[in-house]
A and B are shown apart, each in its own frame.
Chain A
Amino acid sequence: MANLRERANKDLELSMEKTTEWGLPVVLISPDGVIYDTKKDSEDPLSGQVLHSYTEFNADTGEDVIIEDPVVILRRESLDRVPLNGEKWGVQIPEDPSLSAPMKLFILSPDKAIKANRALGIIKMYLQKTKQI
Chain B
Amino acid sequence: MMEFIEIKNAIINLLETNSGVNYQVAKAQKQEKSAEEFIDGNRLVEVYYKRGTFPKDSGRYTGPVQHSATFFVELTVSAPVEVDLAVLENPAATPAQIQTALNGMKLASVNADEKMDELISIVWNILFDAENHHLGLAEGKIASRWIDDVEKGDPNPRGSLVMLTATMPYSCVLSETPGGEDPIDNEEINLENEINEDTNQKTGIIVN
Q: Which residues of A contact B (CB under 8 A)?
A: 29, 31-35, 53, 58, 60-61, 63, 65, 67-70, 88-90, 105-107, 109-112, 126-133
Contact A34 B95 (CB under 8 A): yes
Chain B: number of interface residues, binned into ranges: 35 or more
Among the listed A60, A110, A129, which residue makes an inter-chain contact with B80, where contact means beta carbons less than 8 Å apart? A129
Q: Is the interface of B mostly helix, strand, loop or mixed?
A: mixed
Nearest-neighbour CB distance to chain B for A117, whole angstroms, equals: 21
The count of A-to-B residue pairs whose CB atoms sit within 8 angstroms is 97
Q: Flag whether B51 is at the interface (Cβ < 8 A).
A: no
Do A31 and B102 form a contact, CB below 8 Å, given A58-B32, A111-B155? Answer: yes
Contact B80 A130 (CB under 8 A): yes
Q: Which B residues lie within 8 Å of A58 (CB)?
A: 32
Contact B162 A111 (CB under 8 A): yes
Q: Which residues of B contact A (CB under 8 A)?
A: 31-32, 36, 39, 80-86, 88-89, 93-99, 102-109, 155, 157-162
Contact B158 A67 (CB under 8 A): yes
Contact A128 B81 (CB under 8 A): yes
Among the listed A126, A128, A132, which residue makes an inter-chain contact with B85, where contact means beta carbons less than 8 Å apart? A132
Among the listed A65, A69, A88, A112, which residue makes an inter-chain contact with B105, where contact means beta carbons less than 8 Å apart? A88
Q: Which of chain A's residues has its CB closest to B99's CB?
A: A33
Q: Which of chain B's residues has its CB closest to A87's CB?
A: B102
User: CA–CA, A132 to B84, complex, Å?
Assistant: 5
Contact B109 A111 (CB under 8 A): yes
Contact B157 A32 (CB under 8 A): no
Q: Which B residues lie within 8 Å of A53 (CB)?
A: 159
User: CA–CA, A70 to B157, complex, Å?
Assistant: 12
Q: Which A residues lie within 8 Å of B109 (CB)?
A: 110-111
